[in-house]
């Protein structure tokens, strides 16, 4: 099951994975409130930015809200993400909408345990890794988890939704 070093307080997302019987590790890191970017998280974890995934919430014109989970060194391609979600256009939700919509704040948004389930899309490179890191539902805490387990739990699809950062 899960392991915890020095009794890390479990997040709601961690309790949900426990209940589902999904193995993961909770990995704490030092938060820089001025730099919530995934590359900072990867640096703190000492991990490859390609396997540190960020969770973004979008709104599609025909499908409503949906979630994109992509590597920290990429940015969401709004056209590709919209197409994956069955929309013509999509845009990022405004930061002030994130907490009421998902229950999470920027820098601590997890694909696990949002207030309600949204269609979720993982970038296609997710399957290149034996495990990935995603937010465990609060700043300063990441899940280290097998991508297949997480994709299954989130009832997610794998799609080409991102492009390399400029």
CATH of the domain at 59: 3.90.960.10
Residues 55-80 have a mean pLDDT of 97
How many separate domains does the chain show? Answer: 1
- The answer to whether residue 106 sits within a structural domain is yes
Does pLDDT of 3 surpass 50?
Answer: no
Average pLDDT rounded to a whole number, residues 119-145: 97
Q: Are strands 120-123 and 64-71 parallel, antiparallel or unpaired?
A: parallel
Looking at residue 165, its pLDDT comes to: 87
* Mean of pLDDT values over 9-22: 95
Provide the percentage of residues in the chain whose pLDDT is more than 70. 96
Average pLDDT estimate for 143-156: 98
Considering the domain boundaries, does residue 78 fall inside one?
yes
Does residue 153 lie in a domain region?
yes
Residue 63 lies in domain:
12-164
* Residue 8: per-residue pLDDT: 80
């Amino acid at each position: 099951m899960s392991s915890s070093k020095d009794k890390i307080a479990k997040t709601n997302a961690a309790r949900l994975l426990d209940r589902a019987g999904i193995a993961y590790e909770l990995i704490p890191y030092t938060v820089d409130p001025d730099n919530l970017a995934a590359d900072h998280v990867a640096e703190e974890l000492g991990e490859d930015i390609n396997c540190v995934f960020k969770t973004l919430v979008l709104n599609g014109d025909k499908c409503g809200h949906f979630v994109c989970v992509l590597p920290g060194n990429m940015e969401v391609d709004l056209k590709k993400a919209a197409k994956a979600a069955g929309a013509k256009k999509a845009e990022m939700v405004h930061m002030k909408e994130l907490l009421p919509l998902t229950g999470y704040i920027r820098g601590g948004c997890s694909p696990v345990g949002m207030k309600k389930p949204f269609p979720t899309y993982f970038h296609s490179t997710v399957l290149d890794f034996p495990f990935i890191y995603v937010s465990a539902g609060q700043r300063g805490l990441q899940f280290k988890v097998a991508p297949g387990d997480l994709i299954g739990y989130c009832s997610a699809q794998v799609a080409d939704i991102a492009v390399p950062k400029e």
